[in-house]
Amino acid sequence: MTMRGDDIEPVLAALADPTRRRVLDAVASRGEATATMIAAELPVSRQAVVKHLGVLDQAGLVTGRKAGREMLYTARPEPLDNAARWMDAVAAEWDARLARIKHLAELPASAAETGAPAGDER
């Protein structure tokens, strides 16, 4: 029940918090870790870590697996990678759009189509 993968919203939100990033990183650096283990090396309580792990899990950045009385979490790069690609796409789109606009603006006003307003702005 943690099939969130295509929604960048939670990923960005999860990554926005510094502490949460540290938690994530801590998990990643151990391959697998429990909230207790992580809390031991961070200046926050175990419960805080638990909450962060909850958010991270919600974003698909970690997955929990119960082993005996422990809850082991593992980091998952996919969502991150996913978000990165999304960003690239958006950036590219903006880039294109801006380039297009700039291009039009710099045209020597040769073809005057559409009853557009008089060229000069301001």
Q: What is the CA radius of gyration of the chain?
A: 23
Q: Helix, strand, or coil here: 105? A: helix
Q: How far is the CB of 31 from a second copy (least distance, A)?
A: 4
Considering the complex, what minimum distance in angstroms separates the CB of residue 47 from DNA?
4
Residue 41 touches which of a second copy, DNA, none (CB < 5 to 8 A by kind)? none
Map tokens 């990033």 to a residue. Answer: 21
**Sites of contact with a second copy (CB under 8 A):** 9, 12-13, 15-16, 18, 28-29, 31, 67-68, 74-75, 77, 80-81, 83-85, 87-88, 90-95, 97-98, 101-102, 121-122
